């Protein structure tokens, strides 16, 4: 019984991720698997249309339209869909967007009209984001004999792990919903957010609202820590922070 109690958050977390991300989310390919209804290569550009699926070591996508170009700097990619779906299994990211652009040399993905981007932080916690644009930077880490080194190149093999680095999120407003197993959800609203995955902090700016179960916090700029749910105002900010007790409003 004790074992079940200990494992229950893990089980819930697994179920949560499974419910938000299809099984395809767990798929990552070392050899760039590709399929589409049709594909045209013209003047150095490859355009694929109709049920496009691309599975790479960096991510996998399902789209209606995919445009790829290879030059000396690397590969650039633009995809569209209604919606387009992206999965990054290593990073725990699943996104449903209208359009994306990718630059392989920079390991940078830009999402447009983000219906939902789900970041599975761990088995217990996930963050769902809806926004106008998300500029997402990730990196690769080489894992050799238990040691981890930051990879400098874009060559990704089975010993390489994708690690999210930064996200610049813009919306009108953007919305982030943080859910943790057995706990009520926390909603963050703002015009822009910088998500630093290393420090696990969100720097929210512009009409910031943090809706917690017992209170709502209003400010111009706030720093929110995902790990413990704490928040603070930037040290140099001269602003008025409004905290509203919402516990009485709840039925």
Neighbours of 46 (CB within 10 A): 16
How far apart are alpha carbons 205 and 178 in whole angstroms?
18
Least distance (Å) between residue 34 CB and other proteins: 5
- Member of 12, 20, 24, 34 binding other proteins (CB under 8 A): 34
Helix (H) / strand (E) containing 4: helix 2-20
- Member of 8, 14, 37, 242 binding other proteins (CB under 8 A): 37
Residues from 215 through 234 that contact other proteins (CB under 8 A): none
Least distance (Å) between residue 75 CB and other proteins: 5
Contact between residue 153 and residue 54 where contact means Cβ atoms under 8 Å apart: no
Least distance (Å) between residue 36 CB and other proteins: 5
3-state DSSP assignment of residue 210? strand
Residue 4 tokens read as 């079940």
Classify the C-alpha dihedral 235-200-129-148 as positive or negative.
positive
Residue among 81 and 171 whose Cβ is closer to other proteins: 81
Least distance (Å) between residue 51 CB and other proteins: 9
Per-residue binder mask for other proteins (CB under 8 A), 62-101, x = binder? --------x--xxx--------------------------
User: Strand 147-150 to strand 215-225: parallel, antiparallel, or no bridges (unpaired)?
Assistant: unpaired
Binding site for other proteins (CB under 8 A): 31-43, 46, 48, 54, 56, 70, 73-75, 104-105, 154-155
């Amino acid at each position: 019984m004790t074992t079940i109690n200990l494992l229950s958050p893990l089980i819930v977390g697994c179920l949560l991720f499974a419910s938000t991300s299809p099984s395809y989310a767990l798929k990552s390919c070392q050899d760039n698997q590709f399929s589409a209804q049709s594909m045209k290569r013209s003047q150095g550009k490859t355009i694929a249309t109709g049920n496009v699926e691309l599975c790479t070591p960096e991510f996998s996508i399902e789209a209606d339209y995919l445009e790829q170009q290879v030059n000396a700097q690397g590969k650039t990619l633009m995809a569209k869909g209604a919606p387009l779906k992206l999965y990054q299994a290593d990073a725990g990211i699943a996104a449903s967007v209208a359009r994306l652009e990718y630059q392989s040399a920079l390991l940078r993905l830009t999402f447009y009209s983000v219906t939902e981007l789900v970041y599975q932080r761990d088995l217990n916690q996930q963050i769902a984001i809806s926004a106008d644009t998300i500029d997402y930077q990730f990196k690769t880490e080489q894992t050799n004999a238990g040691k981890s080194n930051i990879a400098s190149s874009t060559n990704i093999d089975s010993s390489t792990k994708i690690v999210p680095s930064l996200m610049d999120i813009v919306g009108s407003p953007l919305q982030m919903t943080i859910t943790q197993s057995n706990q009520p959800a926390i909603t963050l609203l703002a015009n822009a957010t910088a998500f630093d995955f290393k420090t696990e902090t969100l720097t929210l700016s512009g009409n910031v609202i943090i809706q917690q179960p017992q209170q709502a916090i209003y400010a111009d700029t706030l720093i929110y820590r995902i790990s413990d749910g704490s928040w603070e105002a930037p040290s140099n900010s001269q602003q008025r922070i409004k905290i509203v007790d919402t516990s009485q409003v709840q039925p």
